[in-house]
Chain A
Amino acid sequence: MKKILALLLVLVMVFALCACGQKASTGSVYWLNFKPESDEVLQKVAKLYTDKTGVPVKVVTAASGTYSQTLTAEMDKSAPPTLFVVGNANSVKDWSDYVVDLNGTAIANELNTDAYNLYDENGKLVSIGYCFECYGIVVNPDHVAAAGHSMDELTNFAGLKAVAEDIHKNAATLGFDAFSAADMDGSSSWRYTGHLINLEYYYEETASGAKWTAAPEALTGEYFDYFRNIYDLSINNSTTDPKELATGGHDPVNEFISGKSTFVLTGSWDFSGIAETVPNATMIPYYCGVPGEEKAGLNCGTENCWAINAKASEADQKATMDFLVWCVTDPEASRLLVDSFGAMPYKNAVESTNAFLAAADAYAAAGNYVMDWATNYQPGVDDYRSAAVSALNAYNADQTDANWEQVKTAFIDGWAVQYAKQNG
């Protein structure tokens, strides 16, 4: 027993020494990834790169929902990540002192758009989008047709409402319902508190006449009633009684895939899972009754932005930059990444096969406006969203105007409160 223990200790020591030795010589890459669902592919890409070039690439994925905690802890270590994700305004604030300015770098020159990059207030290019995503309402056209409707009706809120309510009313005979049930626990509450609410932010941003470059101090809430329109529609015409949403236990995408629902609030990241069983599924914008919404497009943006650690050694920074350029230019690597991420905004990356992103392109090509991810500016995002969840729970149980006022307080007043807290 003692011998085995001693042997193990010696092995650990040898590995530790090896790890130190490797690092010192050529530079290495340590990518702290925040998307658990991409881990498998990233490990494959890392291995591919190491096999080809001999440069060690380590990919560590933070457990779901703990990315910022993991990043904080890892950055304090003696061998911090050389590559990590800075995906929204909050993170830019937190980490801009710790990252390399990517303006004019090799990876920046590979981009085909500036739309997904994040800058700090001094114009430093803090992080650079490596993929983009779109969200909206995913529709099963077969169900719409089976219910005696046509996809052409789904061009505004009135059309969507008529179809959804009709399907919900006849759910028993049709064998499927309108919306999937999305819970208010951590598994799904972001569909409302992070994504659906984006329509309020987006229209407010647009009304202000200029794109947000930083979080506004406060919101006016003038589009909040439109949010209520679609929110009410989606919870009251779903597979589940809204009173049960606080409890959890539903899997909205799975309900859609298994044919129980016609609509689900989700995004392009779910394409591969959905396309296997509903190959003609498509995505429509969040219709909420705003005038002129016939020209709406999908919500496109990203939280997936690479940042290079400025505190890493020169050799590590260079190795990381080389790795990134290889990721977006090598056909094999970019194929793997594009298939996992949806699409990458780089000149030499392979084409996307994601039909939801194709739908986004089609809307844009038809001259519809792209709704950007204003939601990325949510201040004090965790506390902000949990206050909203609390208010939505109360509203779901008892849909009164008084309870809706609480929801509005959480979303609109809560913004100012969290903003003050964060910048105070």
Chain B
Amino acid sequence: MRKKRITNMNSQIRQTRLWSPLFLGPVVTAFAIGFVWPFIQGIYLSFCEFKLIKDARLTGFGNYLKALQDPTFRHAFWFTALFAIVSLVLINVLAFAVAYALTQGIKGSNLFRTVFFMPNLIGGIVLGYIWSMIFDGILGRYGTSIVMDSRFGFWGLIILVGWQQIGYMMIIYIAGLQAVPGDMLEAARIDGASKWQTLFKVTIPNVMPSITICTFLGLTNGFKLFDQNLALTGGQPIIQEGGEFVKTTEMLALNIYSTFYTSNTTSKGVAQAKAVLFFILVAGLGLLQLSYTRKREVQQ
């Protein structure tokens, strides 16, 4: 009897092994076609000079050199880094605060959750145009506009992205907050912990997994931002700096995009090199941050 069961299981495993390619196949193929292959090709193209992909000609590291020497790329990097940090902090603090408030059992929590989440359902380009109208509606009264001062552009982007992403992060935090064991909170109360002590010593350590994922998302989203940047300011205003016109509110992704469509025989390869650098940067930062916050997670 016992022996038979084992054979049964073995045959089940064998069966699964036999059929696994059929089930894994579509996903693996799609992943290979949609991600792995373009990614390899992208790296290859970053070493090429090309106008059309099929006419690419290998040229070596020149593209990387040009990319690193480009002052607009460097400006975009610092602007993006600043944006990513400010938006990361603001979005997470506010999202956590909202999530915390909405898990205290106040009336209409569900309605608020839905409403806060909604902006996340609108596409970036549409949001960019809507907010540029809102900002210009206000700034227009003072004879200025979102595209006329890089500070307006910066904070405009922060507000826009905050408005869009706080709701999303809030949902993740709510899930984390609801998973905090009630007995721990009760124990803290019995031991006489204050509200703040409970928050910082019990609640936050317990929602660390949510914080990990939200900071990861916040950081990578901040670096990868494109549509909102394109639609809200398009890089305006532009200043002249050392013989180069620098788009003051242009972020990395938009910089890569505009480099790619500059009319120059080498620009496409340079844009590709920038894109590879961009990938290394975002992936590296993401991994660093993950390993850092993971260490702070509490195992229950």
Contact = CB atoms under 8 A, between A and B. Distances in A.
Interface stretch (A99-107, A125-133, A325-333, A414-422): A414-422
A393 B263 contact: no
Given A390-B147, A393-B148, A383 B236 contact: no
A409 interface: yes
Q: Kindly state the interface size class of chain B when it binds its partner.
A: 20 to 34
B236 A390 contact: yes
B258 A394 contact: no
B247 interface: yes
Contact of A380 (B133, B240, B262): B262
Nearest to A78: B54
A386 to B, nearest CB: 6
Contacts of A184: 147
Nearest to B144: A397
Contact of B264 (A76, A244, A413, A421): A421
A75 B52 CA distance: 7
A387 B145 contact: no
A413 B240 contact: yes
A422 B51 contact: no
B143 A389 contact: no
Contacts of B243: 417
B235 interface: yes
Contacts, number: 87
A422 B236 CA distance: 21
A244 B53 CA distance: 43
Nearest to A244: B140
Given A387-B245, A422-B262, A246 B54 contact: no
A314 interface: no
Contacts of B137: 247
Given A386-B234, A410-B245, A421-B262, A246 B147 contact: yes
A228 to B, nearest CB: 19
B236 A393 contact: yes
A413 B147 CA distance: 22
A94 B263 contact: yes
A94 B51 contact: yes
Interface centre among A249, A386, A417 (most CB of B within 10 A): A386
Given A382-B261, A397-B148, A421-B262, A390 B244 contact: no
Contacts of A91: 263
B161 to A, nearest CB: 22
Contacts of A387: 238, 240, 245
21 contacts: A72-B52, A76-B54, A97-B51, A246-B144, A247-B137, A247-B145, A249-B133, A380-B262, A380-B264, A382-B261, A382-B262, A383-B258, A390-B236, A390-B239, A393-B236, A393-B237, A409-B240, A410-B238, A410-B240, A421-B264, A422-B263
Top 4 A-B residue pairs of the complex, sorted by shortest distance between their CB atoms: A246-B145, A390-B238, A243-B143, A247-B136
